[in-house]
Structure formats: structure tokens, C-alpha cells
Amino acid sequence: MQTSVSGIARRLFLGVFSMAVLASPVLAQTPAPKVIFQTTLGEFVVEVYPDKAPKTVENFLRYVSAKQYDGTIFHRVIPNFMVQGGGYNAKFEEKITRPSVPLEAQNGLKHELGTIAMARTNDPNSARAQFFVNVKENPFLNAKGSSDGYTVFGRVVSGMETIQKIKEVPTGSGGPFPTDVPKTTVLINSATLVK
């Protein structure tokens, strides 16, 4: 009788423990949001990490939902560095943006091949809508203190070959920019949150 009761108690404990583990937020995390970009050179998908850069991701996804990126161009392409877009239309008219977001560069994410980060001015808290994708490891962009670096907030999870095509487009001057502008326009047709 003693063995039978302890066996039942052990099974009961294991059942309750298993349910607790399955309900644990560590194992039951919501998948990271993904955004699919359709461009004139193909598509790519970006996964973003709200747990690492909450304000940046919220800002980025609000722009995606508002269709801010649709019809914008990659206006800065440096083949051994990064490709940047999301701020200008094909006539080099800058799109109106919301207020800037605070720097979240000290989040553990590094500027590795395929990561996506926010562009900004010399003011660390000036990121708005423009983003860039690293086409190589760029450790000099990583945060060393609380007011430097560039916020990485996600990475390309498919379609890196499209980013490779973008980085290989010949560049020159265009609009207000003296260098690094693709001679053939690379347009973002749409950016859509994957449901």
C-alpha cells in the first residue's frame, strides 16, 4: 500500500511539474515578429526582438503598420559596410516621421552580418524611421557606453541573397547625396508584418 501511494504521489508531482514547465514564460514565449520586405530586387524577411529593444521595435512596427516604408528606396549602399533605406521616396523626398526614439544599443545584440539596426545622426537619441542592414560584421558600431553605438533590433532570417544583390548595385551621386546612391533605384514596394 505504501508503494502504491508514493507511486501515485510521484506521478501527480510529475504531472503538475510538467504543466508548470509548459506554462513557463521561458518555454511558451511568443515568436519574434517578422516583417517581409518586397523590393525591386527580391524579398527578404526580418525578425525583430522586442525583448531586446522594446522602444525601437515598437517604433519600427508602427512605421510598418502605417505603410511608411512602402515606396521608399535604399538610398545609401556601401558594399563592404551596409545598405540603408526607409527614409526617402524615389524622388529623394524625405518622408515625414514621428519623434525620435531613445538609443537602445546596450542590449547585447551585435552588428553582425545580416543584423538590422536604426540609422541616426550624431545625436545618439535621434533614430526615427531609417534603418540599415549590416552586410558584414561591423563591431565599431557596437555600444561601448550608454550614449554611443547604433541600436540593433533584429536580423534578416531569409532572403539574405536580396541584400547581397542590393549591396552589389553600382553607386554614385543622387538627390542630395554626393556618393553611395544606387544608380539603379532599389525600391521597397512594401513592408508587411507577417501574421
Look at 11-25, 31-45, 130-144 and tell me which has the smallest mean pLDDT: 11-25
Please provide residue 39's backbone torsions phi and psi, each rounded to the nearest 5 degrees.
-120, 170
Co-location of 13 and 50 in the same domain: no
Residue 10 confidence (pLDDT):
53
pLDDT band at residue 195 under the 50/70/90 scheme: confident
Residue 177 in this model has a pLDDT that exceeds 80? yes
Residue 6 and residue 87 share a domain: no
The CATH number of the domain where 173 resides is what?
2.40.100.10
Q: What pLDDT sits at residue 12?
A: 47
Same domain? For 23 and 42 the reply is no
64 and 122 fall within a common domain:
yes
Question: Which residue range(s) make up the domain with 23?
Answer: 1-30
Sorting pLDDT into bands at 50, 70 and 90, what band is 29?
confident
Whether residues 166 and 90 share a domain: the answer is: yes
Q: Can you give the pLDDT at residue 4?
A: 53
- Does residue 1 have a pLDDT over 90? no
pLDDT at 83 over 90: yes
State residue 101's pLDDT score: 98
Binned at pLDDT 50, 70 and 90, residue 28 comes out as low
Does one domain contain both 26 and 42?
no
Q: Give the percent of the chain with pLDDT over 70.
A: 86
Beta carbons of 182 and 175 less than 8 angstroms apart? no
Number of structural domains found in the chain: 2
Cβ neighbours of residue 78 under 8 Å, at least 6 residues apart? 167, 171, 180
Q: Indicate the pTM of the whole model.
A: 0.85
pLDDT at 7: 57
User: Is there a single domain that holds both residue 84 and residue 132?
Assistant: yes
The radius of gyration computed from the CA coordinates of the chain, to the nearest angstrom, equals: 22
* Domain co-membership, 40 together with 7: no
Q: Are residues 38 and 26 in the same domain?
A: no
Domain check: are 127 and 180 in the same one? yes
Question: Would you call 99 helix, strand, or coil by DSSP?
Answer: coil
Q: Which residue has the cell 553611395?
A: 180
Mean per-residue pLDDT for 160-176?
Answer: 98
146 & 168 share domain: yes
Residues with Cβ within 8 Å of 64's Cβ and at least 6 positions away in sequence, in order, are: 35, 191, 192, 193
Secondary structure of residue 163 in the 3-state scheme:
helix
Same domain, 151 and 111: yes
